[in-house]
Structure formats: C-alpha cells, structure tokens
C-alpha cells in the first residue's frame, strides 16, 4: 500500500489514478499539485487529493511514491524541481504518452535515468479532460506499458507493475523506442488526422453549415479531436520523428486512393476497402482475447 502519494498533475489520468487507488484501498494520503489552480481546486473538492501543495518540492516531501501525470512537455521542469530532494527509497514513475523524450530529459538533468524511476504509459483516455472527468474505472482491463531501462531497479519495477495491476490494468513491458514507434502509428497519427479533418471542416462549416448535416460516421471518426489540445501539442512535438514519416505515408496512400477514384477503378477500390474492413475485424478480434 502507498502511504503518501505525491501526484503531480491531477487531470483525467492523474485524477482517475487517485480515484482508483482510493476505491481499492491502495493509498493512504494523496498530495496533489497541478499547473491549473482551478483544476486543483476541483480535485480537492472531489476528494481526489487530501491536500494541495504550492510547490513540487513541498508536495514530494515525505512521499513514498511520486507519480507524474502531466503533459510530457512539462516533465523537464518537473524533474529539475524534484532533483534536489530526490530520494533512493521513493518510487518514481510517469504516465507520459511518449518515452524517449522523458528518458532524455532525465539523462540531461540527472546524468542518467535514476534506477528508481520507471517510465510508464497507461493506454487510456476520454473525450473530456481535467479532474472533473476522473473516474475509478478508467484503467480497468486497459493496457499499461512500462518501458524499463537496463539499470531500472527490479524491485521498484515490480512495485509499479503491481500498482497498475492492483487497479485492474493489464501491464506490458516494451523497449522505449519501440513504444514510441508503435504509439505513433496507433494513437498519435489518428489524433493528428482527427484534429486536422475537424479543423478543415470547421472552417468550411462557417459558410456551408456542414456540421448541421454530419452523421454518426463523422462523430465517430472525429471523437478524439475533443482531446486536450495542449497535451497533444506536446506529444506531437516530442514524437515528431516517428509521426511525420507516417503522415507522409498516409499522404501517399490518399494520393493513390484519389487516383483510383479518378480512374474509376472499382475493383481496386473494393479490394482496398475490403482489406481495411478485414484488418479492423482482426483488431476487434484481438481486443476480445
């Protein structure tokens, strides 16, 4: 059981983690800190945290766990604030959607990634963000990826593993670079596409009332464009080396598809759509396993 948790970032992910730990009786006291004072006030009112702190250093004082649940762009500043009081007997982990940039920030600030820091990423989210959206079941039966390094303390790693399994998540381990490659394709690129399409049609809608006639397909495809823009800005900049080549591949695939339509090549278009449908069914079958 965690005696005193320092939770840096009490948004959807951090707040849901706090609520899940409370629900399962796995935490004693939670000290919260957040860049948004109004969000922190909501977290306190909803009892996601017991106390709020004016500074990262104060929040971490006396904690036996520190969880960083902020956008990845904020992590270098957070690591710098934690460095003077960093303790070897404390468990440190994060929930960032990219891993190589988090590791690089730790290496710049500490000289090497501390052995008691476990990079992590829960694959969970929702349209709404902030403490108001937090709920205890967010991580149940959802994948959490841990990306330990060769020097990661195995006992600390097992404790982080146990935390996520304790709130119902399914934990996998992955090499950090591979994590960023996989997530660029399965999460980061789809979010970029949803943001760009929605923005593009949003400009048209000002004159043509497009959204008035949008059906369920538009709602389903663009749902993730409701995600936190600041968080996704950080993700796209942090992992752009993986995302940009995928955008170029997608651009070429769209060009080839447009040519099939211009040529009236029904057979190849049908084959493309059929292959896509089969691929999605394989994805759904995998989810059910």
Read off the pLDDT of residues 39-50 as tens digits, 9 standing for 90 and up. 999 999 999 999
| Paired tokens of 195 | 């943001």
- Rounded-to-integer distance, Cα 88 and Cα 65, Å: 11
User: Is the model's pLDDT at 207 over the cut of 60?
Assistant: no
Tokens read off for 3: 């005696």
The pTM of this model reads 0.90
The pLDDT of 183-191, averaged and rounded, is: 95
Query: What is the DSSP code (8-state) at residue 83?
Result: G
The percentage of residues in the chain with a pLDDT greater than 70, rounded to a whole number, is 97
- Per-range mean pLDDT, top range of 102-106, 210-214, 218-222, 283-287: 102-106
Domain at 179-288: CATH code: 1.10.3660.10
- Separation of alpha carbons 139 and 68, rounded Å: 16
pLDDT digits 0-9 by tens, 130-143: 898 999 999 999 99
Residue 98 and residue 66 in contact, taking contact as beta carbons nearer than 8 Å: no
Tell me the sheet residues that pair with 8. Answer: 33, 68
Computed over every residue of the chain, the mean pLDDT equals 93
CATH of 2-174, one of 1.10.260.40, 3.90.1170.50, 3.40.50.720, 3.10.310.50: 3.40.50.720
Scan for tokens 């995928």, then name that residue.
Answer: 246
State the Cα angle at 247 between 77 and 146, rounded to 5°: 45
Residue 21 burial class via C-beta count within 10 angstroms: exposed 0-12, middle 13-18, buried 19 and up: buried
Q: What is the mean pLDDT of residues 116-126?
A: 92
261 backbone dihedrals φ, ψ, rounded to 5° = -70, -45
Give me the DSSP letters along 155-212: HHHHHHHHHHHHTT-EEEE--HHHHHHHHIIIIIHHHHHHHHHHHHHHHHHHHH-GGG
For residue 128, is pLDDT > 90?
no
Question: Which 3 state secondary structure label does DSSP give 9?
Answer: coil
Domain residue spans in the chain?
2-174, 179-288
């Amino acid at each position: 059981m965690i005696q005193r948790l320092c939770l840096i970032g009490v948004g959807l992910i951090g707040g849901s983690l706090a609520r899940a730990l409370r629900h399962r009786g796995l935490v004693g006291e939670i000290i919260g800190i957040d860049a948004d004072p109004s969000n922190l006030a909501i977290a306190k009112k909803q009892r996601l945290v017991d106390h709020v702190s004016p500074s990262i250093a104060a929040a971490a004082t006396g904690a036996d766990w520190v969880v960083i649940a902020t956008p990845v762009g904020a992590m270098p500043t957070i690591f710098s604030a934690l460095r003077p009081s960093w303790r070897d007997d404390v468990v440190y982990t994060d929930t960032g959607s990219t891993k190589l940039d988090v590791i690089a920030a730790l290496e710049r600030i500490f000289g090497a990634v501390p052995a008691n820091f476990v990079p992590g990423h829960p694959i969970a989210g929702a349209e709404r963000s902030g403490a108001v959206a937090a709920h205890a079941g967010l991580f149940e039966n959802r994948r959490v990826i841990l990306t330990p390094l060769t020097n990661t303390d195995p006992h600390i790693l097992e404790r982080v593993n146990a935390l996520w399994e304790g709130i119902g998540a399914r934990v996998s381990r992955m090499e950090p670079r591979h994590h960023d490659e996989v997530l660029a394709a399965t999460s980061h690129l789809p979010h970029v596409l949803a943001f760009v399409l929605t923005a593009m049609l949003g400009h048209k809608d000002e004159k043509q009332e497009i959204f008035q006639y949008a059906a369920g397909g538009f709602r389903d495809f663009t749902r993730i464009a409701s995600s936190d823009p600041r968080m996704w800005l950080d993700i796209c900049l942090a992992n752009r080396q993986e995302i940009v080549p995928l955008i170029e591949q997608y651009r070429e695939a769209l060009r080839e598809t447009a040519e099939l339509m211009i040529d009236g090549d029904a057979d190849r278009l049908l084959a493309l759509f059929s292959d896509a449908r089969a691929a999605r069914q394989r994805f759904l079958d995998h989810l059910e396993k």
